[in-house]
Structure 1
Amino acid sequence: MNALLKVIGIATLVGVLSSCGFHLRGAPSLPENVNTVVIESARAHAPLARALDSRLNIYGLASASGEGAKQTSENINIYLLPEKLDRQLLSVYPSGQVAEYDLIYVVRYRVSFPNKQPLMAQFEVVRDYQDDPDQVLAKSRELDLMLDEMRAEAADIIIRRLSSQAVAALDESE
C-alpha cells in the first residue's frame, strides 16, 4: 500500500510539473559555430573575470581570458566593464552606527557574437548585510566571502543570459 502511494505521488508530481511547462535546464545552448568564450575586462585581473572563467568551465564551455586570448569569428567575446558595489542603508544602531545595509553589486558587460553587433547588458546582485562594530575582523572576512559569492552568482547570470542574447543577436540580423 505504501509503495502504491509513492508511485501515485510521483506520477501526480510529474504530471503537475509537465503540465505547467517545467523542464530541467541543461547546459546553456549557444550557436553551434561558437568554439570559445573570450573574456576581457576593463581592469586587469578583475575578480569577476576570474569568477566567470571558472564558472564557464563548470558549465562545460571553453574559455579564454586576457590579452593572450585570440579573437576569431567563431568566438563569443565578453567585455566586462568596471564592476560597482553600492551600499544602501537599511537600519542603524541607537548609537548612530550602521547596523544593516543592502550590498548592490552592479555588473555591466558587452557581449559580441560571431558576425553580429555587440549587445550591452546590465544587472544587479543584491544581498542584505548586517554589520557589527564589535566583530570588525570577522565581518570584514564575511564581506569578502559575500562578495565572492555575489561574483559567482553574477558569472552564472551572465552565462545563462548568453543563450537568450544569442537568440536576440540572431533575430536582430534577420
Structure 2
Amino acid sequence: MARALGLLILASSLLLTSCGFHLRGNLPLSHFPAMYIQSDRHSELAQLVSAKLQHNKVQLLDSMQQTAPMLQLVSDSLERRTLSLFPNGQVAEYELIYKVRYALTMPDAEPQFYQFELFRDYQDDPNQALAKAKELDLMLGELREQAANRILRQLSRLH
C-alpha cells in the first residue's frame, strides 16, 4: 500500500514537471544568469522587477556589460478615464489604465520593445477623499505588482 502511494506521488510529480508547471513566482529564467536593469532612479516598478529577478536567481549587474542582457524600463504611467458621473456632475467611477513600455536588449542584438496596458475600475466618493486616496495607492501598487509579474513571464518565454 505504501509503495503504491509512493509510486502515485512520483508519477504525479513527474507529470507536473514535464508539463512545465512551476510554483507561482518561480519562473524558468536560467537563460538569464545575469542582467542589467536600466530605469528611473526611484522607479517602484524597477524595484519590484529587480526583487522578482533576484528571487528567481538572476544576478543584477551594477553596470551595463556587452555580454549580458539589458532590461530597460522605458516608462510606466497611470491614466484615468471617466466612466460615470454623479447627478451633480462629479465623477463617480474611473477606469484606471496603467501603461508600461520596456525594452530587452540581448548581447549583440537590437533592442526588442514591448508595451502593455492593465485596466481597473475605480469608484470615487468625494465624501471619503482620504480613504479613496489610500485605495487608489493600493490599486496602483497592485497594478505595479501585476506589471512586474507580466514582465517576468515575458522574459521566461524568451530563449
- TM tier relative to shorter chain: 0.7 to 0.9
Q: Partner amino acid for 1:102? A: E
Q: Which runs of 5+ in 1 are unaligned?
A: 1-13, 168-174
Q: Deviations over 1:36-92 (max 9, x none)?
A: 222111x3211211121122233333334xxxx222244221111121211111111
**Deviation for aligned residue 1:31:** 5.6
State how far apart, in whole Å, the 1-side matches of 2:81 and 2:55 are.
33
Aligned length: 145
Which of 125, 132, 148 is matched with 1:132 structurally?
125
1:29 counterpart = 2:22: no
* Aligned counterparts of 1:142 and 1:85: Cα–Cα separation in 2: 15
| Residue 58 of structure 2, aligned match among 39, 61, 64 | 61
Change (3 A) 1:124 1:91: same
**What's the secondary structure of 1:162's corresponding residue?**
helix
- The 3-state SS of whatever aligns with 1:142 is helix
What corresponds to 2:7 in structure 1?
A: none
- Code of the aligned partner of 1:100: E
Aligned pairs for 1:112-123 (under 5 A) are 112-123=105-116
The residue number in structure 1 matching 2:95 is: 102
Asked if the contact 2:73/2:102 (under 8 Å) is kept, the reply is yes
Is 2:99–2:115's contact at 8 Å kept on the other side of the alignment?
Answer: yes
Q: Which residue is 1:38 aligned to?
A: 36
Aligned in 2, Cα 1:31/1:24: closer, same or farther, shift over 3 Å? closer
The farther-off stretch of 104-113 and 49-58 is 49-58
Residue 156, structure 1, aligned to residue 149, structure 2: yes
Letter in 2 for 1:28: L
- TM-score of the two chains, using structure 2 as the length reference: 0.78
What is the CA-CA distance between 1:23 and the residue it aligns to?
A: 4.9
Runs (4+) of structure 1 moved beyond 6 Å? none
| TM-score relative to the length of structure 1 | 0.72
Partner of 1:142: 135
RMSD: 2.5
SS at match of 1:75: coil
Match of 2:73 among 61, 75, 80: 80
